[in-house]
């Protein structure tokens, strides 16, 4: 049994992709770099391509180059950080649970982390920003644990996990809205938890999340072989000497931490963690070292597309990135629900 078959989503990469997955990943990375540069030219104020290149070379003397450094570059970098974090988190959860419907926003992590982060911001506005990631992590862990406990019936079926996850996410959403009603004076600062947006983000947000991503993503990749073993089933994995429960617990903690950090800096952006791993498996196959690497770059591309489209479709108005990703991911989730439903 392959890993992809175990999670219910067999990958069918092309023969060239299966032989040279790192070439495919390199192509995706090149596309992400080009998309990053293009993204910096789009916004309420159009920035000439020459000013983007000037700014990236270190010359900020022109007005356009200053706009790039102060506003556009932090958003693009945050697309990279959040895209990588959410995509790898989704790939880990799908691999551990062996369920194609598992994702941070589907199984309650995103809304749980968002509620916890919002609670901290509203009840302790003077608290250090460094407290947001660990508090969001606690909320994400609580959400994921609650979904798993409620969905477990001598195993976890895809449909049950999805339905319980939607119910738990809706509960956290109701709690978030209650906070908005209770603290109306702070509603503007809190709306980010509802929509997921990179508007107004600075390098401080990037620097807050980057150390976490830089540690957690390599830790997941180091354990990629263990994810492959878990995909063979608990009995066979145990027979191969893998401590199944400990490995599953550690990987889930890493996945929850990644999603929670992303929520802490960008709000509740959904479906990136669901869609990116599926596309990656289609392109490069199911071996987790390559599929997680590909998913990370695809997550960046999805975030860049959503943020750039939101900025450029009707300037100076801006559509939050979370709305764009939901418009993409919602139909895809329904497709997976129908395909895997039993």
Could you state, in order of their start, the residue ranges of all structural domains in the chain?
74-296+318-340
Separation of alpha carbons 207 and 229, rounded Å: 34
Task: Find the length of the chain.
Answer: 342
Tokens describing residue 82: 């959040």
pLDDT the model gives residue 6? 43
Share of the chain above pLDDT 70, in %: 89
- Does the pLDDT at position 242 exceed 80? yes
User: Whole-angstrom distance between the N-terminal and C-terminal Cα of the chain?
Assistant: 20
The residue among 137, 325, 111 whose CA lies nearest residue 215 is 137
Q: How does residue 212 score in pLDDT terms, banded at 50, 70 and 90?
A: very high
Tokens describing residue 331: 């139909």
Segment 123-144 shows an average pLDDT of 83
Tokens describing residue 280: 């990656």
What pTM does this model have?
0.88
Segment 314-321 shows an average pLDDT of 86
Separation of alpha carbons 284 and 164, rounded Å: 31
Calculate the alpha carbon distances from 179 to 34, 105, 121, 175, 263 in Å: 40, 20, 11, 6, 17
Most confident of 44-48, 264-268, 287-291: 287-291
- How many C-beta atoms lie closer than 10 Å to residue 186's C-beta? 15
**Residue in this structure with the two tokens 């027979």, named with its chain if needed:** 239
Please give the CATH architecture assigned to the domain spanning 74-296+318-340: Orthogonal Bundle (1.10)
pLDDT the model gives residue 5? 43
Helix count and strand count (H, E) for the chain: 18, 0
> How is 14-62 classified by DSSP, letter by letter?
-HHHHH-HHHHHHHHHHHHHHHHHHHTT-SSS---HHHHHHHHTT---S
pLDDT (tens digit per residue) in 50-90: 999 999 998 888 888 998 999 999 999 999 999 999 999 99
pLDDT the model gives residue 124? 83
DSSP 68: I
The residue among 263, 102, 79 whose CA lies nearest residue 176 is 263
Separation of alpha carbons 248 and 235, rounded Å: 14
Q: Give the rounded distance of the alpha carbon of 150 from its chain centre.
A: 24
């Amino acid at each position: 049994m392959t890993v992809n078959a175990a999670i219910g989503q067999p990958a069918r990469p092309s023969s060239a992709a299966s032989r040279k997955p790192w070439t495919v990943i390199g192509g995706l990375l090149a596309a992400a770099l080009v998309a990053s540069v293009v993204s910096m030219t789009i916004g309420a104020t159009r920035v000439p391509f020459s000013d983007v290149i000037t700014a990236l070379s270190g010359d900020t003397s022109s007005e356009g180059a200053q706009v790039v450094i102060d506003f556009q570059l932090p958003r693009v970098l945050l697309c990279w950080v959040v895209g990588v974090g959410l995509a790898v988190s989704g790939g880990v959860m799908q691999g551990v649970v062996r369920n194609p419907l598992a994702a941070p926003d589907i199984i309650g992590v995103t809304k749980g982390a968002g509620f916890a982060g919002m609670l901290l911001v509203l009840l302790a506005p003077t608290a250090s920003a460094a407290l947001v990631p660990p508090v969001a992590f606690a909320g994400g862990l609580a959400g994921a644990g609650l979904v798993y406990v409620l969905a477990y019936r001598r195993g976890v079926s895809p449909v049950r996990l999805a339905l319980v996850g939607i119910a738990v996410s809706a509960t956290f959403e109701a709690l978030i809205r209650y906070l908005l009603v209770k603290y109306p004076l702070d509603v503007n600062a809190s709306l980010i938890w509802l929509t997921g947006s990179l508007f107004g983000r600075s390098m401080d947000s990037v620097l807050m999340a980057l150390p976490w991503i830089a540690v957690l993503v390599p830790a997941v990749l180091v354990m990629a072989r263990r994810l492959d073993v878990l995909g063979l089933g608990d009995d066979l994995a145990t027979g191969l000497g893998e401590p199944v429960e400990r490995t599953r617990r550690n990987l889930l903690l890493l996945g929850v931490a990644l999603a929670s950090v992303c929520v802490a800096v960008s709000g509740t952006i959904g479906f990136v963690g669901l869609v990116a791993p599926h596309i990656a498996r289609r392109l490069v196959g199911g071996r987790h070292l390559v599929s997680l690497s590909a998913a990370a770059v695809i997550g960046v591309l999805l975030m860049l597309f959503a943020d750039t489209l939101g900025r450029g479709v009707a300037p100076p108005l801006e559509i939050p990135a979370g709305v764009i990703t939901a418009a993409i991911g919602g139909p895809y989730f329904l497709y997976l629900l129908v395909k895997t439903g039993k």
